[in-house]
Structure formats: structure tokens, C-alpha cells
Structure 1
């Protein structure tokens, strides 16, 4: 039996969380969902509300991968920037995609609040900070988002930022009062309980080995999804693999790269925290390889960062890497104890948008959320459920973002090269500001 990796979230998951048996029989359902992360769970929940019978199979445990070990930020937007989306999709469709990303935030909030999901620990607010002078740029962005996208940000000047974050690194910020941070694993476990209560079935330790189209004569569904000890016959298959998906996912697996990010949790800081952080807002900067962090349990810092193809597992090395990043911002934390450190893989597409698509007749993708998955898995699951049920064609908005080849064996090398290039661009951007203000 698989177990959760040692993270802050697994250590604080709800005590009443359910365990699910493995699939050891041949079953039937309208839809088989492959992957028990937030994309798969949300798709299942949305399909059940549309009166579809659903079976979810998960290779490990519910939200074992990126869904259960991330930064816990639930915010508007996609992994791809809004400007790039406008260029590819056009202004009107970009507005619709942005509105859908906001809808994703509300889906998560409503699922928690309307169903009283335990220990999800929602805290509103997120500060997007910059490490160079950008006052005019940020205010123009704030105004454009309000005028054209009907979304409000609060602008904070340098003095206001330093009231909240005691560091000379940050210059200005935009505050998002709609977004929030929370406990993603407890949310996933609560959502899984809702699915089971509504008649959906979830099987853990049940990796898909293959899915094949059934012959027309005598078939009880269009597809058979096989695991080591069982199978599901169904009319529709939804592939919700993340960075841990294997070759059995076919053309979908050839369309994303597994990219790692790192997270650490500090010791309890007590009143010392106020020397550095004086806000309950989550914080993230705008660099290509950004820091992101938030306060949990009142006086611990949960800090994440780095985007790399190297899935570092050595906790001592992980702690050292992120301690350095933390001390670059808050120099006084150089002696802080790191109590937990972990990494995880995310699925990234080359175009940085998720794969939300009809792959072929009866086969759907809801995958590759690229480090911005808390809201986008939610709206992705709803959009796919709408498409499977024939309720809407909103899935068409993702047609410009198809299953683009990931580069094969050269993909990870290319991704790592891009990562270092982007870090270099961050360095030069900050360097220009420092040089101008000497």
C-alpha cells in the first residue's frame, strides 16, 4: 500500500480521512476518471451532480501528487500569463478564459463553505510583490484589469509593502482580496468524501495499465480501463494524470513535462515572526522563478520556490536551497530551523496552459496545470463534465492549446535551459533597478 510523502499537509491531514480499497473486480460506470488528484476529483464531483455514474482510479492515494503537496494558493489566472493568452486566443476569448479562472476560485470556495469541509483553513488575501521599481506599470495593470476584466486589485506603494513585509527587497505590490490560501490535501480528502457519499467510487493503489476501445457488438461501454487486478467498462474516460503520469497515457504523456518545485516549513517563530512578516496574506513575486510563501499555524512559514527538472529528494539539501532563498529576502532568518522539506512534480505543457480537451471520441484530458492548479483544476473539471454531459461547449476555448509534443528525450534539457535563462533575466531586471538607484 502506498503512503503519503512526509509533508506539512500529510502531517496535518484530517484524522477522519477515508482510506479506499484497490480495484480488484470488473466494474461498469458511465465515466472512468484516471487520477485522484484535484482535477480528477473535481471532474468526478461535477459529473455526479449531472447524474453520471463515476469511478475514479488512483495509482497511489487521493491527492498523493502535486494536488496534496503544493503551496496552497487558490488564485485567479493560469500558469500562462494573460498577455500571452490574449495574443494566442484573442482579446474576447482571453476575457472568457480569465473569467473561468476566477470561477475556479469560487468553485473551491463554495465546495468548502457549502459542504463544511473540515480543516481546509481558508485565509483570504494574496500579495503579488516586485523586486524592482514598477509603480507605474503595476498601477496601469490594476486599472486595466478593473476596466477590461472586471477584477479589482489594491495597489500598495513601497511604504505600505514594508509595513507588511519587513525587507528592502520588495518595492511595490498588488493585493488580491478575492484569492485565498488553504490546506489543499484536506480539501481533496473532503471532496473525496463528498464523492463517495453521492455514489461515486474511488479506488487507490490502482494504477491504470491500459485503456482500449471495445468492439461494438456486445460491449457495455465504449472503453475498458484495466488495472493490475480489475477493470472498468465505461462510455467515457477522463485522463487526469499530473507530473507522475506514465507512458500508458499515450499522446497526453508525450505532451507535458514533469517539472519539480520545492517547499519547506519552518519551526514555530512565535513573536519573532512579526520582525519579518506582518500579514496573513500569501505572498508571491513576479519573477519567472518565483518565491511563494505564507504563514501557517499562526507563526510558521511555509516557503516554496524553484522550477526545475530535478526532483530533489534529499531533505537536507532541499532545506539548504530554500533557506538561502528565504534569507535573500529576510536576512534575519538565517538561523531559522527547517522542520520539513519536500519536493513534487507538476505537469507542464510547452504552452503553459492545461490540456483540457477531447482527445478522441469518448476520451478527455484534464491535465498539465503547470503549478497554478488550485483554481484551474476546479474549472477544468467542471468544463470537462459539461462537455461529457453535452451541457456546454466551453471546452472549445482551449482549442488553441492542444497536445503539443514535449520534445521527447530532449524536453527536460530544454526545460532546464529555459529555467536558467529565465533566472538570468530576473537577475538582469533586478540589476537594472539597483544600478539606477545607486
Structure 2
């Protein structure tokens, strides 16, 4: 079993490499971080005719943006009632509408740019691990009423006809959601940025910044970018370059594994191409990939360095506990990646000071939220809208440092225990 490499890197359609920054570059905006938030920002600015430069410490999509489960669906990791409690009901509604727009934004980019290698597949099933049909029907009715958004209710028989597991009860299917090969999507966006005249520099970590004047400066080992606006989109891989940003989130590791090729065995357990996520607050997510030949399975989080091999044993235990018929399915690849989580469990999107922007903390929110974050930051820079202000109630609050990490790990264990008891009481 191979751990250092990722499935997405092995299967990326575009193997192009990009140069490191050398010398001085002058532009309208410099984006620090070549993940989904950074590239979405750069794309929208380039589409508006702005000169943009992206600085990436490794390669495009190296971080969690290019190694995740590939889910594109509306909503946030935070419960809608919690969002409304903090931001108000109307702001919560507008934020949810932004998340829906994010789904369409990713889909439209795939179509418009011909990113066929992103391989979008429609459908997402959110399944219950205990019997509670009434709550799902009520949620579907509320979503339809509040947002005009249709979710398909599936009873237990319908769920178990496609998911051959005794663990599952009812589900809501979202036909508008979809799942993709995230790294190929990112590399398609990068190609379009460059086609529009934007510059992307790889192996170019930012080492210093000067942000106080009207002209911002960002230095790397090989050069310097000068621009009116600078955007920080570094996520879980943020270093000490911006102390305020680094203190505002926790780096959390998540884990993914991909099976060997075994289409008949996989089909004996999972007879759908929909992506699947369970309702546990510390749950699993998975989807069949490669036209049914492999299974991608993700879950588990840690707040400290952990052995990927050890976590894979836990993931496999979850998989086999859900689908005993997959006990013989071998894991071929596995990897981990760092996400950023804010204490309030919402994205952090906004302006730090004139010309200094941030777009981060997308752990658990999905590709659509990360993409729409980049879009609204670009709108702010262009003066086209101030929609980024909708996220102001969820700002750069201190995440608690080492104590915050300890609390996060304890909270995760608590959620696991609550899930365990709830399922057994059902």
C-alpha cells in the first residue's frame, strides 16, 4: 500500500509544471496560495481584465483543495440555526444562497472551460444511521420553502436498495449536488487564468510582506510581487507570514483512502454513483470512482500528526462495519491533508485592512463554499459588490492555539461518543 502519493496526483490529466518567481513582477493583485480559493479569486479578477499573480509554495492544488473528497453541495459545516443565531436570520438566508451559487459556479466553470477531466457526476445522498424519517421530511420541506431547493426523500427500502447496509435508514438525495476530480478542476482553472494573462508561480512560498502602503509587496526567495491588493488564501498550510491569520484557525488533518480495482465487489455493496455522506457529526464520506472500479472513502480527523497507516486501519474498520461484504476489498492508496477550521466553524472571508484580503477556514464546507469565497473576494476587490461582508460575523477570532487544538480533539471524541450512543438508542 502506498501512502506518500495521492490518487488525484496519479490521475491528474495535466502534468504541466510552472516556474518559480524570479525577479520583480508588478500587477493589480497578488494571491498567496494556489488552492481553490486563491485560483477562484484569480480567475474572476483575470476575467475582469486585471493583472493577477498567484504564489504557490508547492504546486497548484497541493493542499486540501486538490486532495479532498470532491463533493460540491450547498450548505455549510455549521448548522443553519447556529448561523442565524450569530448573524441573524436574513444574513443566514443570504449565506445559504451564496453556497447554492457556489455549486452553480463550479458547474458553470466546468462546462464553460471544457474541464472534462474533472469528471462531474451528479447526486449526493445524505443518509441517517438511525431511524428518523420525520426530521428528514421536515428539513426537505423547510429547504423547499426557504430556498426553492428540492431534496428527494428516500425511505429505508429505497436507501437499502442502493446501499446494501444494515447501518442506514432514511436519506435525502440532492440531485443538484455533484462530485468531481478536484485536482483536475483546479488545474483547468489554472490554465484559464494563464490564458487570460495571469501568472502562476509554483515552488514560490511567500517569505515576507510589506502591506502598510498603497502598494503591497510580497517577497519570495527568488523575487518580489508588487500589487495594489494582496489576498491570503493559504488555508491549513498557513505559516507565520501573517500572524493574525495564523492565530485565527486550527490546522486539522483529515484522511482519505482509495481501494484496489474491484468493480463487482464494490457493486455488491454500493449500487449508486451518488456521493454518500452520513449524518454523524464525525462521519464518513465516500463515492465510487473510475467508472465503478474503485471506492474512495474519507473521514476521521486529528489535531496532531498521526500515522496515515494507522488511520487507514480505522477508516477500514468504518467501511467494513458499514459494509461487511467489503472486508476483502484492499486499500491501494491513502493520504492525509491539512484543512483550516475556525473556532466558529464558518469560513473566514473578508478584508483585513485596505488592500489586504483573506479567504480561508474552509474545512468541512465543501468545494462550492471555497469557490464562492474566492468569487466574492474578487467582487470586493473590483468594487462590484460587498457580498464578502456577509461573512463579517465570522471574523478572525483567536482559535486558542495549543489549547484550542486540545479542545478540538476532545470535542471530536465527544461527538464520536454522542454518535455512538445515539445510534444504539435508536
Q: Deviations over 1:43-79 (max 9, x none)?
A: 0001111221100000111010001110010110112
The unaligned stretches of length 5 or more in structure 1 are 216-220, 434-438
Equivalent residue, structure 1, for 2:288: 295
CA distance in structure 1 between the aligned counterparts of 2:67 and 2:239, rounded to whole angstroms: 20
CA distance in structure 2 between the aligned counterparts of 1:333 and 1:369, rounded to whole angstroms: 32
CA distance in structure 2 between the aligned counterparts of 1:107 and 1:17, rounded to whole angstroms: 25
Q: Secondary structure of 2:144's partner?
A: helix
Equivalent residue, structure 1, for 2:348: 355
CA distance in structure 2 between the aligned counterparts of 1:408 and 1:157, rounded to whole angstroms: 44
CA distance in structure 2 between the aligned counterparts of 1:177 and 1:125, rounded to whole angstroms: 5
Give the deviation of 1:313 after TM superposition: 4.2
Q: Secondary structure of 2:177's partner?
A: strand
Equivalent residue, structure 2, for 1:32: 30
Q: Is the 8 A contact 2:265 2:326 kept in 1?
A: no
Which of residues 66, 71, 76 in structure 2 aligns to 1:73?
71
Which of residues 392, 405, 411 in structure 2 aligns to 1:399?
392
75-84 vs 52-61, greater mean Cα deviation? 75-84
What are the within-5 Å matches in structure 2 for residues 34-433 of structure 1? 34-213=32-211, 222-297=215-290, 298-314=292-308, 316-433=309-426
CA distance in structure 2 between the aligned counterparts of 1:280 and 1:402, rounded to whole angstroms: 37
Q: Is the 8 A contact 2:117 2:184 kept in 1?
A: yes
Q: Secondary structure of 2:118's partner?
A: coil
Aligned Cα root-mean-square deviation (Å) = 1.3
The unaligned stretches of length 5 or more in structure 2 are none
Q: What is the aligned length?
A: 423
CA distance in structure 1 between the aligned counterparts of 2:302 and 2:242, rounded to whole angstroms: 23
Give the deviation of 1:214 after TM superposition: 5.7
Q: Is the 8 A contact 2:253 2:301 kept in 1?
A: yes
CA distance in structure 2 between the aligned counterparts of 1:381 and 1:17, rounded to whole angstroms: 24
Q: Secondary structure of 1:47's partner?
A: helix
Q: Is the 8 A contact 1:313 1:342 kept in 2?
A: no
TM-score by length of 2: 0.97
CA distance in structure 2 between the aligned counterparts of 1:312 and 1:418, rounded to whole angstroms: 18
Q: Secondary structure of 2:367's partner?
A: helix
Q: Is the 8 A contact 2:259 2:330 kept in 1?
A: yes
TM-score by length of 1: 0.94
Q: Is the 8 A contact 2:133 2:155 kept in 1?
A: yes
Q: Is the 8 A contact 2:265 2:329 kept in 1?
A: no
